[in-house]
Amino acid sequence: MKQVDCRKLKIQGLEILKEKIKGENINLKVIQIEGDKASDLYVSNKKKAASFVGIKADHVLLPNDIKEDDLKSLIKNFNNDESVNGIMVQLPIPAHLDADDVIETIDKDKDVDGLTSQNLGRIMSKKEGLKPCTAEGIMNILDACIGLKNLEGKNATIIGRTKLVGLPLFHMLLAYNVTPTICHTKTKKLEQFTKNADILITAAGQENPFIGQDMIKENSVVIDVSTVRDESGKFHGDVLYDEVIDKAGYVTPVPGGVGQLTVLELMNNTYKAYVLQKKRKK
């Protein structure tokens, strides 16, 4: 088994991006609604990465009781501001706000989280656009483990069907001639799908880890997206890491795993957004 060094991959990627950005003036708006403590850490990590590569990250902290129309109005102002290159809304947001409607307000070429329906549609039609950061980060991990050119013919099982991971990843893998399967809460006999997977990607977010050695294929790539904090304050994913290490070919750790690449891809997307907007002006 080889543990995937996601922190190393992130640093390498940020170093490359830093060289690309030299001399450019790129502005990212990070919108956060008060109330979710975990978001404080995530936003802090994003601001640090932005500072490292030379992106100006403006943290816009809004009150918990903000009205949806006011939030959308703010986003529209950023859409129309040519000095703003990227816009993201830190999720989750309070229940009185419709997250999907809020995200849809973002200009597709400034949608650095890659979550608008237009950008998700671009993936399906294989057009240039901004892809969801976690899904793109997973592709980065697969490239580091086995190489994207070697994905053809592989079987992949994805547990979870969200717009952040499962749905975009299905089409991204399909583009490399992988045979992907999406499993979810209504899937029966899950182990039949996981045992057949050359690549297993899990984003179930269960209260307790549940994927053990008996559920994976020998020498498979196991990517654990989930990050759950237990009662003692420790983080875990869906995978029983100590059980699978002797059977899997590669395993991502939790914590310090996929989230590292999510931050990297947010920075990459911000640069891509900047390039897309320059093209649009011509």
Per-residue tens of pLDDT for the chain, all 282 residues = 587 899 999 999 999 999 999 989 999 999 999 988 889 989 999 999 999 999 999 999 999 999 999 999 999 999 999 999 999 999 999 999 999 999 999 999 999 999 999 999 999 988 889 999 999 999 999 999 999 999 999 999 999 999 999 999 999 999 999 999 999 999 999 999 999 999 999 999 988 899 999 999 999 999 999 998 888 888 899 999 999 999 999 999 999 999 999 999 999 999 999 999 988 877
Q: What is the token pair recorded at 203?
A: 């984003």
CATH 3.40.50.10860 location in the chain: 24-107
Q: What does the block give as tokens for 41? A: 């850490």
Amino acid, single-letter form, for residue 265: E
* Ramachandran angles phi, psi of 157, nearest 5°: -115, 125
Which single residue is written with the structure tokens 């880890």?
209
Q: Give me the active site residues, please.
A: 46, 90, 113
Under DSSP, the state recorded for 232 is T
HSE on the CB side for 91, CA within 13 Å?
Answer: 11
Please give the model's pTM, rounded to 2 decimal places: 0.95
Q: What angle do CA 115, 132, 111 make, to 5 degrees?
A: 50
pLDDT at 269: 98
Q: What is the largest CA-CA distance in the chain?
A: 56
Please state the φ and ψ torsions of residue 148, each to the nearest 5 degrees. -60, -35
CA gap 75, 244 in Å, rounded: 44
Backbone φ, ψ for residue 239 (5° rounding): -95, 135
Residues 218, 244: contact at Cβ < 8 Å? no
Distance from C-alpha of 48 to C-alpha of 238, rounded to nearest angstrom: 28
Q: Degrees (nearest 5) of the Cα angle 131, 259, 239?
A: 110
Q: What is residue 174's predicted lDDT score, i.e. its pLDDT?
A: 97
Q: Where in the sequence of the chain do the CATH 3.40.50.720 domains occur?
A: 133-259
* Three-state SS at 175: coil
Residue with token string 């490399």: 176
Instruction: Round to whole Å and give the CA distance between 58 and 30.
Output: 6
CB 98 within 8 A of CB 68: yes
- What pLDDT does 280 receive? 82
Eight-state DSSP code of residue 50? H
Quickly name the fold that domain 24-107 has: Rossmann fold (3.40.50)
Phi, psi of 40 (to 5 degrees): -60, -45
The topology under which CATH files domain 133-259 is Rossmann fold (3.40.50)
CA 146 – CA 214 distance, rounded (Å):
23
Q: What confidence score (pLDDT) does residue 112 get?
A: 98
